[in-house]
A and B are shown apart, each in its own frame.
Chain A
C-alpha cells in the first residue's frame, strides 16, 4: 500500500510540475490542480497509512490510540481541499480575464516567436 500511495503522489506531482511549466494558462491551472491533489495525498500520508481504522473515538470506552487512525491530517486535508478549490476558481477567472485582455492564452500575454 505504501508503494501504491507513494507512486500515486509521485506521478501526480511529476505531471503537475511538468504542466505548471507549460506556456498555456489552462495547462498551468491543471498543473496546479494535480499538484494540489499530490499535496493533499501527502498530508494524508503524514498521519501514517492505516487500513480499517476509524478516526473517531467512541464515547464511554477505554481508548487505545493504536487502534485509531490519526484524525488531524484528515481535518487538514479537508481545509486544504476547500482553500485549493477556491483558489483554482479564482485563477480560472483571472485566466479568462487575461484571455479577454490579451487575445491569447499564453501565460505572458503574448506569443513567443520560436
Chain B
C-alpha cells in the first residue's frame, strides 16, 4: 500500500497539534514550523498529482479493512488537483499572515493547518459519512478562521455562517442516512453500483435523499438562493482566511462533481444544477455591479464563479466539465489573490494601525499589542504602482478576460456549449450570461480601481512588505504559468472530466473484481 496518500491528512494534523503546544510568545518558531510543514505538504501533493496522472487511481484502505467494510481514501486526478490547489492557497495565506495577521489573534497557524487537513480529507475520502466528518472538520477550522481578528462585523457574520452551515450539515446527515437506509452502504463506489440496482419502488425515496444531500453541498457552493450568507462572511473575514475560503466554496462544487457523476451519471438533477447555476451567476453579476467596496465585490465574485461552474457541470458533457475545471483552477487562484490584495489596498484608506488597535482591544490584551513599526520584512518601493499592476491582473482573472487563464476556461466552455448542432436555446442563454458577467466584472472592478488608484485627493501610501506581496505575486505568476502551459493543463483536466463521466475505473480501483 502506498502511504503517500496519508501525508495530506497526517502532516497537517500532527503539525496543527504541535503548534498548539508551542507558546504564543514564540511566534517565529511557530511560523517556521508551519511554513516547513506546508512546503512538505505541497511536495507530497505534487507527487500524488504526478502519480494520479500516470494514470493511477490510488486507493488506501484505512486500518487495512477492505472496502466496502472499511473506509478508503481515494486519490484520482480530481482529488490530486484539488489537494494541490488547497495546498497552494494554504501556503499563500500562511506567508501573507506572517507580516501582521498572525498577531491579530491566537492560534492562527494551528487553525490554518486544521483547515488544510479538513480540506484534504474531504478531497480524498471515498466514503460518504467520512465526507461528512471531514466537512465538519474543515467547517470547524473555518469558523475559527472567520472569527480570526474578532470585532463586531466578524462575529456577526460568523454567527450567521455557523448557523447556516450547521443546518446544512443536518441536511447532509439526513441525505446520507437515507441513501444508507435504501442501499445499505456508505462507500461511494459501492453506492454507485447499488444505486443502479435499486428497484423502481424505492427510486423516489433514493432520489429525495440524493437531492437533500445535494442541497447540503450547494449551500457550501453558495448556489442561489442558498448563498446569501457567502459575500458577507467572506467580506468580513481577515485577508488570509478569505483567501483560503475561496477554495471552501469549491469544496461544494467538488462534492457535487464527485457524488453526482458517480451515483447518477449525469441523468438525475442536471437541469437543477444548470438553471440553479445560471441563477447564481446572474445574482453574482448583479451583486458585483452593486458592490460599493472591494471585499463585498470579491464575495460576489465567488458566487459568480460558483454559478459558472455549476451551470457548466449541469450540462453533463465531459468537454464542458473539463473546461469548467480549468476555470475552477484559474478563478480560485484569481479570487484568492484578489482577497489578499484587497487588504493591502484598503490599508491606504484606513490606516492599518487603527485596525490592529481595534482588534487588539477587542481581543483583550492591549498591553501585548505590537506596534506597527515592529513588523517583520522589508517595505517595498513603488508600492502603489505594484499594487495597481497586481490589481489589474486580478481584475482580468476575475472578469475572465485574455490573456489570463480564466478567459481560456470560459472560452473552452463556450466552445463546448456551441459544439452541439443545433445549439440549444439554453446554451445561447448561458453564452449571453457568461459574456455579460465578464462585462459587469470589468465595469465594476475598473470603477473601484479608478477610485482607489487615481484618487482626486492625496492618499497615504500603504506600507506593504515583501512577504505580503510575494503570495499575491506567486498566485498571479501561477495563473500566468497556467496560460503558458494551457495545453498540458487542459489535457490533464479533460482526462479528469472523462474519468468523472465514466467512473468505471474509479469503482474498479476501490472494489476490485466487482
Q: Which residues of A contact B (CB under 8 A)?
A: 20, 25, 28, 32, 35-36, 39, 42-43, 46-48, 72-73, 76, 79-80, 83-84, 86-87, 90-91, 94-95, 97-98, 101-102, 107-109
CA distance A83 to B133 in the complex (A): 8
Query: Lowest 7 CB-CB distances: which A-B pairs, in order?
Result: A46-B181, A101-B152, A43-B177, A46-B177, A109-B156, A39-B170, A98-B155
In the docked arrangement, what's the CA distance between A42 and B171, Å? 11
Nearest-Cβ distance from residue B208 to partner chain A, whole angstroms: 13
A sample of 8 cross-chain residue pairs with beta-carbon separation below 8 angstroms, ordered by A number, consists of A36-B166, A36-B170, A39-B173, A46-B181, A76-B129, A90-B140, A95-B159, A101-B151
**A73 lies within 8 A of B156 (CB):** no
A71 and B434 alpha carbons, distance in the complex (Å): 49
Min CB distance A41 to B, Å, is: 10
Majority secondary structure of chain A interface residues (helix, strand, loop or mixed)? helix
A47 interface neighbour in B129, B147, B166, B181, Cβ under 8 Å: B181
Question: In the bound complex, do residue A39 and residue B174 qualify as a contact, i.e. CB atoms below 8 Å apart?
Answer: yes
- Is B180 an interface position by the 8 A CB rule? yes
B223 within 8 A of A: no
Question: Which has the most chain B C-beta neighbours within 10 Å: A36, A76, A97?
Answer: A97
B428 to chain A, nearest CB (A): 40
What is the interface residue range for chain B against chain A?
Answer: 20 to 34
* C-alpha spacing A32/B165, complex, angstroms: 11
Scoring B158, B159, B186 by chain A CB atoms within 10 A of each residue's CB, the highest score goes to: B159
- Residues of B near A47 (CB, < 8 A) are 180-181
**Does B167 belong to the interface (CB within 8 Å)?**
yes
B162 within 8 A of A: yes
**Which residues does chain B contribute within 8 Å of A109, judged by CB atoms?**
152, 156
Q: Complex: how many Å from CA A79 to CA B159?
A: 24
* Known A90-B143, A94-B147: A43·B159 in contact at CB below 8 Å: no
Closest to B186 in A: A72
Query: What's the nearest-Cβ distance from chain B to residue A108, in Å?
Result: 7
| Interface contacts beyond A36-B166, A91-B159: sample of 20 additional A-B pairs, CB < 8 Å, sorted by A | A20-B167, A32-B170, A35-B167, A36-B170, A39-B174, A46-B181, A47-B180, A83-B133, A84-B166, A86-B140, A87-B136, A87-B166, A90-B162, A94-B143, A94-B159, A97-B147, A101-B152, A102-B152, A107-B160, A107-B163
Contact, CB under 8 Å: A46 / B178: yes
Q: Name A93's closest neighbour in chain B (CB-CB).
A: B147
CB contact between A28 and one of B143, B150, B163, B173 (< 8 Å): that residue: B163
Contacts of A39 in B (CB 8 A): 170, 173-174
| Residues of chain B with a CB closer than 8 A to A83's CB | 133, 136, 169
Q: How far is the CA of A84 from the CA of B160 in the complex (A)?
A: 17
Which residue of the partner chain, among A42, A73, A97, contacts B155 with CB atoms under 8 Å?
A: A97
Note all chain A residues with C-beta closer than 8 A to B160. Answer: 107
Q: What is the CB-to-nearest-CB distance from B194 to chain A, in angstroms, rounded to a whole number?
A: 14
A47–B186 Cα distance when bound, in Å, is 13
Contact assessment for A91 and B181 in the assembled complex, using a CB-CB cutoff below 8 Å? no
> CA A3 – CA B212 in complex, angstroms?
23
Interface flags for B360-371 (1: CB within 8 Å of A; 0: not) read 001000000000
Query: In angstroms, how far is the closest chain A Cβ from the Cβ of B162?
Result: 5
Residues of chain B within 8 A (CB-CB) of A87 are 136, 140, 162, 166, 169
